Amino acid sequence: MAVSNAKWARTKKLITSLRLKKYRKLEQCFVVEGAKSVLELLDSDFEISMILGTPAFLDENKLSRDVETLKVSQRELESIGEFKTNDTVMAVARMKANTPFTISDNEFVIMLDDVRDPGNLGTIIRTADWFGINKIIASEETADMYNSKVITSTMGSFVRVQLFYTNLVDYLGENSHRVFGTYLDGNDVHGQQFGVSGLILIGNESRGISKELEPFVTDKITIPRYGSAESLNAAIATAVICDNLRRH
């Protein structure tokens, strides 16, 4: 449908407001930008409120859902989005409820202790998806998964990986699975026997794992350093650990 001036003004106001967490929480909506991520969204179980697409995108892609669709120009997309070169499509989708999930006896789950950087969180979600891990437990201080930088960094993987935000001390107090925590003085990850299930605990980018969580760690592991760097990026560390647990 063509967009009237009044409709465009309301849409623009909504989408720009969703850049802020408080308005995402108020509206229970978030924004997805770019063709790849929106097409992944359309094939997922997320509820979609609106699609804004260029005529070229809408002509090339027959949408698989009956959803409100607005034809807009590339200039209009770029004026409201955070992509500098989004020349295709944008979507507004409904957030999912923060719902706890069960962990089976034959799966690994990533646990994030205060991972603040949205890019790191997005890359961790994408990494989890690559290694077949579809559940992440995050501390309440961890970055918001619906932050646009997180969504963009996942490259569509956010539709397949479920996040649950909770108090980690309380959660681990009820946990019966092994907890693999990353420490400088842990066992070499290359020789670690992971078994078939457990929690992979990744600490804060600068502080590492909180002291309050250390008593719950059953297996301390480390990625051996061969050079002089002080530390590894949290997302890179997650990828190395996931690679090793899948090898074993």
- Alpha-carbon distance of 203 to 192, in angstroms, equals 19
Residues, the chain, total?
Answer: 248
Mention every residue, 6+ apart, whose C-beta is less than 8 A from residue 173.
216
Mention every residue, 6+ apart, whose C-beta is less than 8 A from residue 74.
54, 86, 87
SS3 108: strand
Q: What is the pLDDT along the chain (248 residues), one digit of tens a residue?
A: 556 778 888 999 999 999 999 999 999 999 999 999 999 999 999 999 999 999 999 999 888 788 999 999 888 888 888 876 667 899 999 999 999 999 999 999 999 999 999 999 999 999 999 999 999 999 999 999 999 999 999 999 999 999 999 999 999 999 999 999 999 889 999 999 999 999 999 999 889 999 999 999 999 999 999 999 888 899 999 999 999 999 87
Domains of the chain: 5-94 (3.30.1330.30), 108-247 (3.40.1280.10)
Q: Is 174 exposed, middle or buried (0-12, 13-18, 19+ CB in 10 A)?
A: exposed
Residue 219 has phi, psi (to 5 degrees) of -135, 110
Distance from CA of residue 35 to its chain's centroid? 18
Please state the pTM of the whole predicted model: 0.93
